[in-house]
Structure 1
Amino acid sequence: MAAQPRPTAPSPVSAAEFAGLYARVRRPDGRGAGRGALDDITPRQVRAAVAEVGSGLTVTMAAPVETRQGPDNPDPCKHVMTGAVAGHIHAEGLQFARDRIATNVHGDADSHLDALCHVVFDGTLYGGAPASTLTPEGATELSVELAHDGIVGRGVLLDIPRLRGVPWLEPGDSVTGDELAAAESAHHLRVTQGDLLFVRVGHRRRRDELGPWDTEEARAGLHPTAMEFLADRKVALLGSDGNNDSAPSTTEGVDFPVHVLGVHAMGLHLLDYLQFEDLVPVCEAEDRWSFLCVIAPLRLPAATGSPINPIAIL
Structure 2
Amino acid sequence: MAPHAGPAERTRLTAAGFDAQYRRLAARAAWAAGGRGALAALTPARVLAATREVSTGRTVTLAAPVETRAGPDNPEPARHRMNGQPEERASDGLDFAMDRFAMNVHGDADSHIDALCHVIYDGTLHGGVSASSITSSGATALSIEAARDGIVGRGVLLDIPRTRGVAWLEPGDHVTLDDLTAAEAAQHVRVSEGDLLFVRVGHRRRRAELGAWPAARARAGLHPSALDFLADRRVAVLGGDGNNDTAPSSTEGVDFPVHVLAVHAMGLHLLDYLQFEELAPVCEAEGRWSFLCVIAPLRLPDATGSPVNPIAVL
C-alpha distance in structure 1 between counterparts of 2:30 and 2:51, whole Å: 30
Letter in 2 for 1:209: E
C-alpha distance in structure 1 between counterparts of 2:226 and 2:50, whole Å: 25
C-alpha distance in structure 2 between counterparts of 1:94 and 1:84, whole Å: 15
C-alpha distance in structure 2 between counterparts of 1:272 and 1:299, whole Å: 19
1:22-101 mapped onto 2 (5 Å cutoff): 22-26=22-26, 27-28=29-30, 33-83=34-84, 85=86, 87-101=87-101
Asked whether the 8 Å contact 1:168–1:206 carries over to 2, the reply is yes
Structure 1 position 92, deviation (Å): 1.1
Please name the residue that 1:236 is paired with.
236
C-alpha distance in structure 2 between counterparts of 1:154 and 1:94, whole Å: 45
TM-score, reference length from structure 2: 0.96
C-alpha distance in structure 2 between counterparts of 1:177 and 1:6, whole Å: 9
Asked whether the 8 Å contact 2:35–2:142 carries over to 1, the reply is no
Please name the residue that 1:170 is paired with.
170
1:225-304 mapped onto 2 (5 Å cutoff): 225-304=225-304
Asked whether the 8 Å contact 1:30–1:128 carries over to 2, the reply is no
Q: Secondary structure at the match of 2:88?
A: coil
Asked whether the 8 Å contact 1:84–1:98 carries over to 2, the reply is no
Asked whether the 8 Å contact 2:4–2:175 carries over to 1, the reply is no
C-alpha distance in structure 1 between counterparts of 2:155 and 2:92, whole Å: 50
Letter in 2 for 1:110: D
Structure 1 position 88, deviation (Å): 3.0
Asked whether the 8 Å contact 2:113–2:307 carries over to 1, the reply is yes
C-alpha distance in structure 1 between counterparts of 2:237 and 2:147, whole Å: 12
Q: What does the per-residue CA deviation read over 1:14-38, in whole Å, with 9 as the maximum and x for residues that have no partner?
A: 111111111111122586x241000
Give the stretch that moved more between structures: 33-42 or 48-57: 33-42
Q: What does the per-residue CA deviation read over 1:187-211, in whole Å, with 9 as the maximum and x for residues that have no partner?
A: 1111110000000000001011111
- How many residues are matched? 310
Asked whether the 8 Å contact 2:4–2:176 carries over to 1, the reply is no
C-alpha distance in structure 2 between counterparts of 1:30 and 1:240, whole Å: 21
C-alpha distance in structure 1 between counterparts of 2:205 and 2:51, whole Å: 29
1:7 maps onto 2:5 in alignment:
yes
Structure 1 position 124, deviation (Å): 0.3
Structure 1 position 5, deviation (Å): 4.3
Letter in 2 for 1:19: D
Asked whether the 8 Å contact 1:133–1:139 carries over to 2, the reply is yes
Segments ≥4 residues shifted beyond 2 Å: 3-9, 87-90
Q: Secondary structure at the match of 1:291?
A: strand
Q: Secondary structure at the match of 1:51?
A: helix
1:99-110 mapped onto 2 (5 Å cutoff): 99-110=99-110
Structure 1 position 158, deviation (Å): 0.1
Asked whether the 8 Å contact 1:29–1:127 carries over to 2, the reply is no
C-alpha distance in structure 2 between counterparts of 1:248 and 1:140, whole Å: 32
C-alpha distance in structure 2 between counterparts of 1:307 and 1:18, whole Å: 30
Please name the residue that 2:127 is paired with.
127
C-alpha distance in structure 2 between counterparts of 1:58 and 1:95, whole Å: 33
- Report % sequence identity: 68
Letter in 2 for 1:58: T
C-alpha distance in structure 2 between counterparts of 1:159 and 1:276, whole Å: 9
Unaligned runs of 5+ in 2: none
C-alpha distance in structure 1 between counterparts of 2:208 and 2:32, whole Å: 42
Structure 1 position 73, deviation (Å): 0.3
The structure richer in helix per residue is 2
Distance 1:30 1:158, change over 3 A: closer
Structure 1 position 89, deviation (Å): 3.3
Unaligned runs of 5+ in 1: none
C-alpha distance in structure 2 between counterparts of 1:120 and 1:34, whole Å: 15
Letter in 2 for 1:114: D
C-alpha distance in structure 2 between counterparts of 1:30 and 1:44, whole Å: 18
